[in-house]
Amino acid sequence: MQPAAVATPFFFYMLSGLTLLSGVLVITRKNPVHSALALILGLLAQAGLYLMLYAPFVAGVQIILYAGGIMVLFLFVIMLVNIERSQKEEQFNRQWVVGIVAAAALGVLFVLVYIKGHDLFPPHSFVPPENSNTQQVGVMLYGQYLFAFEIASLLLLVAIIGAVVMAKKRI
Amino acid sequence: MVPITTLHYLVTAAALFVLGVIGVLTRRNVVIVLMSIELILNAVNLNLVAFSRIWGLHGQIFAIFVITDAAAEAAVGLGILIAFFRNKETVNVDEVDLLKW
Amino acid sequence: MLDYITSYLGMNTTPGQAGNIFWAVVYILVVFGGVSVAVMAMNWLERKALAHFQIRLGPMRVGPHGLLQPIADALKLFTKEDIIPDQADKFVFWIAPLIILCASFTVYIVVPFGPTHAITDLNIGILFMLGVSSLSVLGVVMAGWASNSHYPLIGALRSSAQMVSYEVAMGMAVVSAILMTSLHGLGAYGVAAHSTGTGTLSMIGIVQAQQEQQVWFLFKFFPLGLIAFVIFAVAMVAETNRAPFDLPEAESELTAGFHTEYSGLRWSLFMLGEYAAMIAVSSIAVTLWMGGWLRPFPNTLTGDTWDLVFALLPGAIFVALATIAFVGVARMPKHPYFRIQTLGLAGFGVVLGLIGVVLFLPPVRDRIQDIFWFIAKVGVFMYLYIWYRATWPRYRFDQLMKVGWKVLLPIGIGVLILTAILGVLL
């Protein structure tokens, strides 16, 4: 078999299996640091999935921002609020049955949508050239989506100020 | 082997989304609830980028904006958590009941 | 088999781009081994150079002039007892050095030693390098937290805060260098007639842009390239927790910071990761500003004679090193106690001389040029690291954060804006 035909299913199943495994680990671990580590693994596997979808810029942004920025923030806060007592208590709340039923209903909804709407989208009709992905994303981001870009930067400014104000001891 | 189509990515994203929803609805630890919200956002991103392979780069741009917003929301959420933790010394969601009757 | 190897020598892309798994694995092994040897050599050089800066001799006993000292250190660290603190989280304690090691070594996938001498050439090369090197912050945080002791915890918090702050300044400097890849000095903005005209994030593309524009980005839009380079040089020293920004791991301050509780092999993994990260960020600086694998003065000193002079330089340097080794042999004490060391140093000199002679031969000479110049430039940066450590006092932590956020970041943003304006105007 040609290497490319075997490689794509192998990598897809490995990466999506890692992502789903890390998702399961995130929601079941007692220790929040272990959950954070599992989430980092999931984010990196998802960056691999983005690479398979011909989106190298989004993969790079995911690694830098999500795995290298947001998860560091999470780990800091876990270290600040980590109390041993909370790991020995009950981990799942009283409504866990209803929660799982609701999530299962959501999952059934997704399955129905995908079964009934299967023919709505063609498998792959647009293969973007991989070597100019960043340039095209840049052109669109600063051309068509310039307003959204500026609003996003304003949003980040508001978030920075809000987080600093809320975490201060005395305002 | 079945060639990998967009549907495979969408099913992965849906499964990740359901896992995130289970995490949000069933866990008591606030930090793990916030991490489950990040799982949900990642599932949405995967969906967007999977569809952008068919219909142009708009999905990837939207995914970049979602990642940016996730960063902002995580920062604010964790700030709220720290502020509350300083008050009540707990990280369980069902003990956040100061305004309860 | 032999013609498979000789057919490789005519390849014009990196193995990763060609999809050639065999040569990619060979490259990975060579780079991995090379970096490990470089880390050991760096360890020796640091001890000897620091000692000579402080008018003492450094390790002299283990091999001739301490050349076998890194091997002795490695043996000692391998055989030390592995102590894990009592209440430490064993899984996180185990995985923290591995994360730092993997993050530091994964970066080498895109480091370009030559136009086709890289493991692969990703289109997002520089983005990948910045992202993966920012994953080592996670390892630092986890190492400090898992040690269950307050010195490592404070050290980890300080170290990771420092690394995150200087990553932002690094990013600004890198973006202004990337901007220069598409700004041809005297042409329309972004539009060029060359094939690599539009700006590129790939490492090989950046060096090729410098080759086309016949200018190292260090000197482009003078002094903007120089300021961006200085910002990156300062930020990269802070990013790798080296002097003068080594408060989190200095011995007199925090008893070795986040790796206090690590002993033996685990500590050596930290050290390996730190030195590998140093070499990695130095190679980013060399690629972005100092012309990567290009030889000095490609535009002024042209012509066949100058090409020959620069081609003979690697061999000449190795022969000079061999001569220094033989001078050292002549100066060794004549006591029979030192006979083995004298023989060892003479053997080392002979090996260096043989390498120099091999590098004089024309077929090797033409192929080794790119790799030699790249490694020479990175070696200059390594020596600068040691020089900084020997001469400059340490920053206090609040001064460190002030420099990162209030000095480097505004200057970086200013350089970026001015580069863009100059690129449009010129």
Do B35 and A74 meet the contact criterion of CB atoms below 8 Å apart? yes
C226: enclosing H helix or E strand:
helix C224-239
Residues 6+ away with beta carbon under 8 Å from C109: C16, C28, C118, C119, C120, C122, C128
pLDDT at B83: 87
In degrees rounded to 5, what are phi and psi of residue C67? -70, -25
Separation in Å, CA of B100 to nearest CA in chain A: 17
User: Would the CB atoms of C131 and A60 count as touching at under 8 Å?
Assistant: yes
Give yes or no for residue C295 having a pLDDT over 80. yes
- Residue C175's alpha-carbon distances to A78, C2, C206, C234, in angstroms, are 32, 44, 12, 16
Give yes or no for residue C188 having a pLDDT over 60. no
Q: Check CB contact of A56 with chain C, cutoff 8 Å.
A: yes
Chain A residues whose CB is inside 8 A of the C146 CB are 33
pLDDT > 70: what percent of chain C? 92
Question: Domain locations in chain C?
Answer: 18-293+394-425
Give yes or no for residue A19 having a pLDDT over 90. yes
Q: Which of A56-60, C196-200, C330-334 has the least mean pLDDT?
A: C196-200
Chain B residues whose CB is inside 8 A of the A122 CB are 54
Two tokens, residue C64:
């001739």
Q: Which of C132-136, C366-370, C374-378, C410-414 has the least mean pLDDT?
A: C366-370
Higher pLDDT, C90 or C258: C90
Do A124 and B46 meet the contact criterion of CB atoms below 8 Å apart? no
Q: Which of B25-29, B57-61, C247-251, C320-324 has the least mean pLDDT?
A: C247-251
Separation in Å, CA of A107 to nearest CA in chain B: 6
Mean pLDDT within C335-364? 88
> Which of C135, C153, C198 has its CB closest to that of A68?
C135
Q: How many CB atoms lie within 10 A of CB C300?
A: 8
Mark whether B and C touch (3+ CB pairs within 8 Å): no
Q: Which chains touch A (3 or more CB pairs under 8 A)?
A: B, C
What pLDDT band is residue A123 in, cutting at 50, 70 and 90? low
What pLDDT band is residue B1 in, cutting at 50, 70 and 90? low
A-C contacts at Cβ under 8 angstroms = 73
Q: Check CB contact of C303 with chain A, cutoff 8 Å.
A: no
